[in-house]
Structure 1
């Protein structure tokens, strides 16, 4: 599917005004092999622990986007090269990390869209702590399970329903 987040915003100003279309702050950098991706959100809340990230990416992605509320932590990475390959293999459209990634050269080879705050060389801890399929706060923007994520070179959008 081809789309432009700018066109989606222009065509849906009434949805933006009503909060049915939200724009994430421009703080996310692109790391994956795909510059554009979209799909329904699967939400996950973790903090400096990526055990559940692997568990979810091991499922069939079916074109969905994993939205990880990592609390905005920049003290370790939640997604690395192996998880990028796993996401591609299992059919995930993208991963949005409110936190960090690592193995950026490997992530760039994975045919999946990946957005994160920054790169960090340290891996996360493994405590098996997290919550999935709940409303999460991504840099002040609420994202609910099943809402549509649209990401391209100009930004990341969250929509209550499919818009393209």
Structure 2
């Protein structure tokens, strides 16, 4: 379903929260939307893998990586899992790697930037908890819409 975040803001101004402009688009899909699933992690992407191994059912994985730019939270192997398991997109408050490969995948991926180093593997983090960055709280079950103009969140589905 085609949409534009600008149009959604115009139509549903009081219902949407707009994330501060900070993300770059890396995935093969420049626009994506879906219900939110969250992870709160720091420089450890073990839970990212285990989450993307589950059926996405059109959801968007929002990863609060603490804004770290020292490691990549998502790489091409995790991108393949996202596509295979039906995730609509991934938003990373942190970095990704393998950006060229991810750019050819049928999934939306927004992140702060890229970094070639993979994360440590401790298996530490929280799943499906509210996370806050970019001036917005992302609550599991709410809806995220992302495109070339930015990222917005709504408590209810807008499409």
Give the TM-score band, short-chain normalised. Answer: over 0.9
Structure 2 counterpart of 1:18: none
Alpha-carbon shift at residue 139 of structure 1 (Å):
2.4
Q: Tell me whether 1:47 sits opposite 2:42 in the alignment.
A: yes
Which residue matches 2:27? Answer: 32
2:53 is the counterpart of 1:58? yes
**Deviation string, structure 1 residues 52-97 (Cα, Å, up to 9, x no partner):** 0000000000000000000111111000011011100000000000
The equivalent of 1:106 in structure 2 is 101
Give the SS at the match of 2:156: coil
Pick from 125, 139, 163 the counterpart of residue 158 of structure 2. 163
Aligned structure 1 segments of 4 or more residues deviating by more than 6 angstroms:
none
Instruction: State the SS of the aligned residue for 1:34.
Output: coil
Residue 84 of structure 1: SS of its match in structure 2? helix
Aligned pair partner of 2:144 in 145, 149, 164: 149
State the secondary structure of the residue aligned to 2:69. coil
- Report the TM-score when normalising by structure 1: 0.95
TM-score using structure 2 length: 0.98
SS in structure 2 opposite 1:109?
Answer: coil
Shift, 1:110, TM fit: 1.1
Deviations 1:106-144 (A, max 9, x none): 110110000000000111000000100110012231010
Q: Structure 1 residue 4 and structure 2 residue 15: aligned?
A: no
Render the CA deviation track for 1:10-64: whole Å, top value 9, x for unaligned: 111232xxxxx11111110000000110000001000000000000000000000
Unaligned runs of 5+ residues in structure 2 are: none
Counting matched residue pairs gives 159
2:71 corresponds in structure 1 to 76
